[in-house]
Copies of this chain bind each other. A is one copy, B any other.
C-alpha cells in the first residue's frame, strides 16, 4: 500500500516504541490524523517539553526537572535508607503502595558481562559514595534475574567493609497465587525463607 511519506514516517516512529507492533503503530497514527489536530500537536509538544526539561536527579538518578527529584527533595523522606533499583519505573511501583518512606538510587541497568555492561556503566560508584556518607541501610531491590542478582551481589560486596546494613527484598510466593501454578525456584526460595509464626 502506498502511504503518504509523512504518514509512513509517523507509523515507523510509533513502531520503534517498545510493545508497539506494526498494526498498533498504524492504528495510533490513523487515530491521531482522524481526530482533531490538537491531540497530535499536544503529544508533539509534550514530547519536546519532556525531552528538554527532564534530567536525572544528581543524588539518586531518578527523573527530575530540578537538580533533585521530588523524592530526594521531600524533607519527610528518610535519606538514611536507600532502596537501589534498576529503572525509574521501579520507583513508581514501590511508591504506588505508599508503604516506603526512604529514598532511592536508580542504577539505570544491571550488570551484564554478556552485553558489555560493567559497574562503570551504572551509577554504582555514586551509590557507594552516597551510602558511605549518610546511609544506615541499603535495600537491594534489583530484579531477581541473573543480572539483577549479580548486581545486588556486587553492591553487597562493595559495602562489606562498612557498618551499613545491606538487605535484599524477600523472595517468596506472590500475593494471591496458588502453589499449583508456581515454579520450583520460587517455591524453593519461599521454603528457604520461611518465617516463624
> What is A's interface to B at a CB cutoff of 8 Å?
1-7, 9-10, 12-14, 16-20, 24, 26-34, 37, 39-54, 63-65, 69-71, 74, 87-89, 91-92, 95-96, 108
Contact = CB atoms under 8 A, between A and B. Distances in A.
A70 B26 CA distance: 17
Contacts of A70: 2-4
Closest 5 CB pairs of A and B: A2-B70, A1-B95, A44-B47, A4-B65, A13-B46
Contact of A4 (B4, B54, B74): B54
Contacts of A24: 19
Contacts of A44: 43-45, 47-48, 51
B9 A50 contact: yes
A106 to B, nearest CB: 10
A2 B71 contact: yes
Given A12-B46, A33-B88, 20 more contacts: A2-B70, A2-B74, A4-B53, A4-B65, A6-B49, A6-B50, A6-B54, A7-B50, A7-B54, A10-B47, A10-B50, A13-B47, A17-B31, A17-B43, A18-B28, A33-B54, A34-B108, A40-B51, A44-B47, A47-B47
A53 B10 CA distance: 12
